[in-house]
Structure 1
Amino acid sequence: MTTNELVVAADPAVAQVTAAVVLRPQSVLLTFFGDYVLDGDVLVSAGSVVDVLGRVGIGEHAARATLTRMVHRDLLRREVRGRRAYFGPTEHGRRIILDGRNRVQDGDIVTRQWDGTWTVVGFSMPESWQRERHDLRSRLQWAGFGMVQAGLWVAPRRVDLAAVLEDSQLGEYVHAFEAAPTGPTEPVRLIAEAYDLPPLAARYIDFAARWTPFDGDAPAADPVSRRVVLTTDWLQTVRDDPRLPLEFLPADWPAMHAEVLFRRINARLRRAAEREMRQRLDVIPGAAPESSAPQDA
């Protein structure tokens, strides 16, 4: 496959969804490794990765470039056997992949039982530290925080800030407290100020519109590709959802319907996809020693 080839998906769901939403290659790879590689303690060949990504519309050049970037970012390690390159998650990559997989597979999309505790985070760092500030904001958003005002973030739950700041040097610039709103600060208004709910609701409505036509019992033409696209689409939909307490959300909050839809379709695809993937993947045992330096795919 060349970079100029037009990839036409055999599965109608894959063709329709990938025409409507941009799937980031790294998100697809994280989904793929989380679903099919992580628990097997194996390394998978670049050729197998290129094949899987090609079936969801991502060309060979983009697939190999993404593999290389993920090696340089310490998400994947590369092992050469003969003329073939094999890839598997590093320890850092394993944590990232597990975090994403847990976000997709575990827990409810809303907090149904809440004890009323808020975590409040304030931070201040040199103005020139734009990259560090962006990193901290990204970590806080991933952990479910919303910004009330510059340098002040809140989350309606207990949050382990040590875990959020792991592998960073930002702890000394952050102050965190557990608290509850008081005085003129109403929780509903605080939620409205900290979180932009209408665009989040729209993402769930769009997800449901994309996948409802394929919510049936008919076998998928390509269950592996359909499941990869389904799970990646869901991850991109939920990745920065703060999973707010149900009491602060509208009665018709669309995330819950979308979650039921995702889990139902995923359950129907899972067995066939895993069986086919076991037959398709070119893998080697994952205990091979790591390369001493990042290399290209």
Structure 2
Amino acid sequence: MRAEEEIIAGRLPGDQGQPPHHRFIVTVFGLYGRHSGGVIPVAVIVRLLQELGAEPASVRSSISRLKKKGVLVSERVDGQSGYALAGELEEHFRTGDERIFFPRPARAGDPWLLVSFSVPEAERSQRHKIRSGLGRMGFGAVGPGLWVAPAHLREEAADYVRRNGLEEYVEFFLSQHAGPGDLKAKVAQWWDLATLEAHYAAFIDAYAPVLAAWQGRPGRDDQTCREAFCAYVPMVTQWRQLPFLDPGLPAEALPEGWKGEAARTLFRELHTLLGPLSARHAQRAIYG
């Protein structure tokens, strides 16, 4: 699980001890290192990260750390040293892709998933594992042993429980809110909406000008693709924390003027505009 912990730390907001270039490496491998053999030569990783402003020595240090954590494995490609993502992480990245690129906000009337758990005091480490796992998936805490999220997280939550051997402590229930309290008020108690909206606002502030600068810009020449790569990878890196903080809460349960939908729209437009150009630059660098 050390490898997954390293990736999860890279999508948590705030200072988690990971410099930006370290997170960029994971993003680059997640976007471009999972196809055509998945091996990226070290020299190419260094060159791509230099384009994002990182020093070669820092990049090599981060690569070494990711190898030690089990995120990357050494490979050879065309006689050169290279790295690929560890095969056992593919399912983790696939789940992440769904969250990041294909979000599924719940609708009014959709069921909720309740996760109830009870752990003996002598096994408190298991309690921490349950709480931290649910929190990282975006669940809200109703009480000490009762957490809630939109029901579409059921498969992801069940997989986490199964992989961590927590089945004996946990029960799942699908439910509808039936009062007596106001659901919007309850959601505001169960999730830290103010902090979440601040993250959405920061994303909008950072990338609305980027979208304005790229809209209507012609060309697919090498320089344009390189500039798209330099904008797209940091954008995805900043965005990928948000779908794990917001599990797709229904609009009807959120405050008026909620910035989440505007942020999602901005991400989709940037992904559509910059993604293909960035991929062209990265694939040219990796595969020639």
Give the TM-score category using the shorter length: 0.7 to 0.9
The structure-2 alpha-carbon separation of the partners of 1:211 and 1:166, relative to structure 1 and needing over 3 Å to count, comes to same
Correspondent of 1:270 among 259, 275, 278: 275
Secondary structure of 2:248's counterpart equals coil
Q: Which runs of 5+ in 1 are unaligned?
A: 1-21, 284-297
Give CA deviations for 1:129-171 in whole Å, capped at 9, x if unaligned.
5654443223213433101121221113251232232421222
Q: Which residue in the other structure is 1:9 paired with? A: none
TM-score when normalising by structure 1: 0.76
Residues 31-70 of structure 1 aligned to structure 2 (within 5 Å): 31-70=27-66
Q: Give the C-alpha shift of residue 26 in structure 1.
A: 4.8
Report how far residue 214 of structure 1 moved.
1.5
Q: What is the DSSP-based 3-state SS (H/G/I as helix, E as strand, rest coil) of the residue aligned with 2:187?
A: helix
* Aligned counterparts of 1:28 and 1:134: Cα–Cα separation in 2: 29
Structure with bigger helix share is: 2
Superposed displacement of residue 281, structure 1: 1.6
Task: Give the fraction of aligned pairs with identical amino acids, expressed as a percent.
Answer: 26
SS at match of 2:241: helix
State which of 163, 170, 184 in structure 2 corresponds to 1:167: 163
Question: Distance between the aligned counterparts of 1:77 and 1:270, measured in 2?
Answer: 26
**Residue segments in structure 2 that go unaligned for 5+ positions in a row:** 1-17, 218-223
CA distance in structure 1 between the partners assigned to 2:51 and 2:43 by the alignment: 12
Q: Which amino acid in the other structure matches residue 204 of structure 2?
A: A
Three-state SS of the structure 1 residue aligned to 2:186 is helix
Aligned ranges 1:125-274 → 2 under 5 Å: 125-127=119-121, 132-158=126-152, 159-160=154-155, 161-182=157-178, 184-215=180-211, 216=213, 217=215, 218=217, 219=224, 222-274=227-279
TM-score for the superposition, normalised by structure 2:
0.78
Contact 1:117 1:178 in 2 (8 A): yes
Structure possessing the higher relative contact order (Cα contacts under 8 Å, 6 or more residues apart): 1
Q: CA deviation at 1:235?
A: 0.8
